[in-house]
Amino acid sequence: MENLFATDKLNDLLPRIKAFVETELYPLETVENLTKPFSKIEKVLNKKRELVKAAGLWGLQHHLTLVEFGQVSEVLAMTPLGHYVFNCQAPDIGNMELMEKHATDQLKHDWLVSLMKGETRSCFAMTEPGFAGSNPINLGTTAVKEGNYYVINGRKWFTTAADGAHFCIVMAITDPDAPPHKRASQILVSTDTEGFKVERNISIMGESGDGWLSHSEVTFTNCCVPLTNLIGTEGAGFQLAQERLGPGRIHHCMRWIGIAERAFDIMCRRAISRDMGDGQRLAEKQFVMGWIAESRAEIDAARLMVLSTAKMIDEEGAAAARNRISSIKFFTAKIMLDVVDRAIQTCGAAGLTDEFLLSFWYRHERAARIYDGADEVHKIALAKSILKKYA
């Protein structure tokens, strides 16, 4: 923990969460659990959720500042399923935040309450196969008003956790003639609506997965939902998506820092325990010492970047922190992936096996440099914003 960002709440909470994670969740990191489809371990995870509730650690994100929750998120991320067990996994956490602020009371009553209890799951359908994800104002999905209904048609993919979700929040064009950033709206669609279909769980890095741990292609075919399922106002889709991204980046980045910390820990343990057969331990090799030192400095730097950004959002709002939010996305993703890679190299062949957690992150987190805006998109956005001041 960085002293700079310590709070009384965290001083109380973090050790308890850390102990819970180590005691209850680390033992679940078996080869079997890490390679099985999600549905096979859901039951055991749901039991752990009960323990979280019993320990008074449920729903933390609703009572903490972003700076505080970021630090919780780091600890949860030290094990692959930490966020799920604490019910603050993406995309549900983002949907909760969105609905708390912008959903009608009726929608909250019907959908948010059970989501917050962990009884249901949700998904968020934005990216489309036909359009570059880096340019979110181009969408093919439409929601046309007919009477009291929106009739939605379109195809989305990389819709995380659609498999088994109870509802989906979809981004669709409601006014194609509006200025580009006012064309889309966010609409809640119950997944049992006729015309909503999970076409397939996309096979990614060798696995199509299932349940919460999957990314689907979904279609909307004349899918009718009441006009009252609109989140926020019509045409506010992009603005809401932007609003989601600020805190969302903090969540992701702190999650990556948690991953990096755990990978760092694995690397150090291996280095100290591995006898090289030449009278030295791996820890005495300069190559390995170099990786450890660089990783330590980089993780510390990334954490300071992310938490200072969280503080900026807490105090001045996401708009004021826009540039810094761009920075942390590409800065932190790179560092996390570099640390994971160094840890693999340190562990040698064993590091490639599913016994070391590292290969799980190597596969599942390469996406960090792509989703929510590829590295390159953020770099361009940041540079343009900086250069505007010089123009």
To a copy of itself, the closest distance from the beta carbon of 108 in angstroms equals 31
To a copy of itself, the closest distance from the beta carbon of 351 in angstroms equals 8
In this chain, which of 23, 46, 106, 135 binds a copy of itself, going by CB under 8 A? 135
Say which residues have a Cβ less than 8 Å from residue 391's Cβ, sequence separation at least 6: none
How many chain residues interact with a copy of itself (CB under 8 A)?
95
Nearer to a copy of itself, 194 or 390 (CB): 390
Long-range contacts of 340-348 (CB under 8 A, 24+ apart): 340/259, 340/260, 340/263, 340/365, 342/263, 342/267, 342/291, 342/294, 342/295, 343/263, 343/264, 343/266, 343/267, 343/270, 345/291, 346/267, 346/270, 346/271, 346/282, 346/288, 346/291, 347/266, 347/267, 347/270
In this chain, which of 15, 56, 176, 290 binds a copy of itself, going by CB under 8 A? 290
In this chain, which of 1, 224, 227, 374 binds a copy of itself, going by CB under 8 A? 374
H or E stretch including 132?
none
CB 312 within 8 A of CB 321: yes
Would residue 87 be called left, alpha or beta, if left means φ above 0 and alpha means ψ between -120 and 50 degrees? Answer: left
Nearer to a copy of itself, 39 or 190 (CB): 39
Stretch that binds a copy of itself, among 58-66, 87-95, 230-238, 311-319 (CB under 8 A): 311-319
To a copy of itself, the closest distance from the beta carbon of 41 in angstroms equals 14
Stretch that binds a copy of itself, among 51-59, 89-97, 183-191, 280-288 (CB under 8 A): 280-288
Nearer to a copy of itself, 127 or 186 (CB): 127
From the list 229, 160, 154, the residue with the least C-alpha distance to 190 is 229
Stretch that binds a copy of itself, among 110-118, 169-177, 240-248, 298-306 (CB under 8 A): 298-306
Interaction of residue 318 with a copy of itself, rule CB under 8 A: no
- Distance (Å, whole) CA 273 – CA 278: 14
Helix 66-76 with 8-20: angle, nearest 10 deg: 20
In this chain, which of 31, 44, 113, 178 binds a copy of itself, going by CB under 8 A? 31
Q: In the Cβ-directed half-sphere of 381, how many Cα atoms lie within 13 Å?
A: 17
Give the footprint of a copy of itself on residues 153-212 (CB under 8 A). 157-158, 202-208
- Distance (Å, whole) CA 143 – CA 141: 7
- Distance (Å, whole) CA 187 – CA 170: 5
Would residue 231 be called left, alpha or beta, if left means φ above 0 and alpha means ψ between -120 and 50 degrees? Answer: beta
In this chain, which of 51, 107, 227, 370 binds a copy of itself, going by CB under 8 A? 370
Interaction of residue 338 with a copy of itself, rule CB under 8 A: no
In this chain, which of 78, 330, 342, 357 binds a copy of itself, going by CB under 8 A? 330
Convert residues 82-101 into a mask of x (bound to a copy of itself by CB under 8 A) and - (unbound): --------------------
Say which residues have a Cβ less than 8 Å from residue 351's Cβ, sequence separation at least 6: 270, 343, 344, 345, 358, 359
Looking at the DSSP bridge assignments, the partners of residue 198 are: 218
Would residue 42 be called left, alpha or beta, if left means φ above 0 and alpha means ψ between -120 and 50 degrees? Answer: alpha
In this chain, which of 292, 333, 339, 343 binds a copy of itself, going by CB under 8 A? 292
Stretch that binds a copy of itself, among 19-27, 87-95, 189-197, 358-366 (CB under 8 A): 358-366
Give the footprint of a copy of itself on residues 234-273 (CB under 8 A). 268-269, 271-272
Sign of CA dihedral 353, 213, 135, 232: negative
Nearer to a copy of itself, 43 or 388 (CB): 388
In this chain, which of 19, 132, 178, 319 binds a copy of itself, going by CB under 8 A? 132
Interaction of residue 24 with a copy of itself, rule CB under 8 A: no
In this chain, which of 43, 105, 179, 277 binds a copy of itself, going by CB under 8 A? 277
